[in-house]
């Protein structure tokens, strides 16, 4: 573990602030990160803790670069206690701090994307980049940040349009995923990485089109392949009925953790909402390549991802304290019975 090399990432950080976020002189930039709590120090292994601390050091370095090169801006680096799961709410003080900025860069270990805190900030007009589990190597030349974002935006919008037009989706993979669900009345959206308009937000690195399936309609099984989720060394299968996970098999330690989070068969909250099929996404970033980092993996061109938990921040109706994405390589995707992706290759846009 160590400080990120400031010199190596400076150009990419400045490109992010200019191209992706349109930071202007006189604006207030807030760089936020989450830090391990006492529970994390007690329960997490050294690798996990080192990863969290290195990410916070990266966030601090990003704030230092911004301060050095944008002296006309107010730049603040802010940390808050890590919440423990993607989609759980940060402390109110962190949420309030985000609302007071013009631009927020959130380099965190647990995602703020699907939270009321993020929604409150963007409703207040903040331009926000959500970067959960981001790694310094993503700033490297040829990496997932170094793409033509205009091209990514155009491809994402085209795919989002045919998601919007579809009534039903089917996803199948060689590992055994076979899922069917309704998209009726839902709007597909692109995550294009250009957060230059007031209140705009999304992931960095970006590159996907996504939609919230209609609640209560998902049927089938989702097989997450080994190596395509952090720490997953054997396939994990989630079984869906009427929109919810009702059983989970395999996955080793990762599977055991999800069994604790989801508690299939227990209809109490928060377990029921966590089991909701929340998202269908399609990756569009040509430089994304690492399958074991979900932030990057879900952007890999030629993949599909399905998520469980919260979809209220995607156009759905389920609010949950969890949003977890599962990335599927080499998928077949059917919309209204027509194959639009075969083995991960888009065969129709438009």
* In the predicted structure, residue 1 carries a pLDDT above the cut 80: no
| Bridge partners for 71 per DSSP | none
Which whole number is the average pLDDT over 172-180? 98
- Closest among 252, 255, 325 to 294, alpha carbons compared: 325
- Closest among 267, 285, 268 to 327, alpha carbons compared: 285
State the pLDDT confidence band at 320, using cuts at 50, 70 and 90: very high
Strands 219-224 and 236-241 turn out to be: antiparallel
Is-contact 261 274, C-beta < 8 A?
yes
* In the predicted structure, residue 44 carries a pLDDT above the cut 80: yes
For 267-314, the pLDDT digits (tens) are 999 999 999 999 999 999 999 999 999 999 999 999 999 999 999 989
**Beta carbons within 8 Å of 144's beta carbon, 6+ residues apart:** 138, 205, 207, 285, 287, 288, 289, 296, 299
State the pLDDT confidence band at 9, using cuts at 50, 70 and 90: very high
Determine the Cα–Cα distance for residues 100 and 97; give it in Å rounded to an integer: 5
- Average pLDDT of the chain is 96
State the pLDDT confidence band at 4, using cuts at 50, 70 and 90: confident
Tokens of 1: 């573990």
Tokens of 285: 């970033």
Tokens of 234: 């054997």
Is-contact 30 98, C-beta < 8 A?
yes
For 328-345, the pLDDT digits (tens) are 999 999 999 999 999 999
Which whole number is the average pLDDT over 210-223? 98
For the chain, report the end-to-end CA distance as a whole number of angstroms.
46
* In the predicted structure, residue 150 carries a pLDDT above the cut 70: yes
Residue 246: left (phi > 0), alpha (psi -120 to 50), or beta? alpha
State the pLDDT confidence band at 349, using cuts at 50, 70 and 90: low
Determine the Cα–Cα distance for residues 207 and 296; give it in Å rounded to an integer: 9
Three-class HEC string of the chain: CCCCCHHHHHHHHHHHHHHHCCCCCCCEEEEEEEECCHHHHHHCCHHHHHHHHHHHHHHHHHHHHHHHHCCCCEEEEEEEECCCCCCCCCCHHHHHHHHCCCEEEECCCCCCCCCHHHHHHHHCCCEEEECCCCCHHHHCCCCCCCCCHHHHHHHHHHHHHHHHHCCEEEEECCCCCEEEEECCCCCCEEECCCCCCCCCEEECCCCEEEECCCCCCCEEEEEECCCCCCCCCCCEEEEEECCEEEEEEECHHHHHHHHHHHCCCCCCCCHHHHCEEEEEEEECECCCCCCCCHHHHCCECCEEEEEEECCCCCCCCCCCCCEEEEEEECCEEEECCEEEEECCEECCCC
| Bridge partners for 181 per DSSP | 169
Q: Does pTM surpass 0.95?
A: no
State the pLDDT confidence band at 350, using cuts at 50, 70 and 90: low
């Amino acid at each position: 573990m160590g400080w990120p090399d400031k010199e190596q990432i400076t150009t990419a950080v400045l490109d992010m602030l200019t191209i992706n976020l349109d930071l202007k002189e006189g604006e207030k930039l807030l760089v936020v990160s989450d830090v391990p709590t006492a529970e994390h120090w007690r329960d997490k292994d050294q690798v996990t803790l080192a990863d969290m601390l290195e990410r916070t050091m990266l966030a601090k370095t990003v704030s230092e670069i911004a301060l050095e090169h944008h002296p006309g801006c107010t730049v603040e680096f802010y940390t808050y206690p890590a919440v423990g799961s993607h989609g759980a709410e940060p402390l109110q003080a962190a949420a309030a701090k985000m609302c007071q900025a013009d631009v927020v860069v959130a380099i965190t270990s647990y995602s703020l994307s699907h939270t009321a805190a993020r929604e409150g900030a963007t409703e207040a007009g903040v331009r926000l980049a959500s970067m959960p589990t981001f790694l310094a190597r993503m700033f490297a030349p040829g990496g997932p940040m170094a793409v033509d974002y205009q091209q990514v935006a155009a491809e994402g919008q085209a795919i989002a349009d045919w998601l919007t037009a579809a009534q039903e989706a089917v996803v199948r993979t060689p590992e055994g995923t076979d899922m069917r669900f309704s998209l009726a009345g839902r709007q597909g959206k692109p995550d294009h990485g250009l957060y230059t308009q007031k209140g705009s937000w999304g992931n960095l690195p970006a590159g996907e089109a996504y939609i919230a399936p209609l609640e209560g309609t998902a049927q089938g099984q989702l097989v997450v392949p080994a190596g395509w989720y952090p720490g997953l060394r054997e396939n994990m299968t989630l079984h869906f009925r009427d929109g919810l996970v009702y059983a989970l098999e395999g996955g080793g330690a990762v599977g055991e953790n999800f069994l604790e989070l989801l508690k299939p068969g227990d209809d109490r909250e928060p377990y029921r909402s966590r089991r909701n099929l929340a998202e269908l996404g399609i990756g569009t970033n040509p430089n994304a390549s690492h399958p074991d980092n979900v932030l990057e993996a879900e952007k890999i061109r030629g993949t599909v991802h399905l998520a469980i938990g919260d979809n209220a921040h995607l156009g759905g109706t389920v609010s949950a304290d969890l949003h977890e994405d599962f990335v599927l390589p080499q998928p077949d995707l059917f919309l209204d019975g027509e194959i639009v992706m075969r083995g991960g290759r888009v065969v129709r846009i438009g």
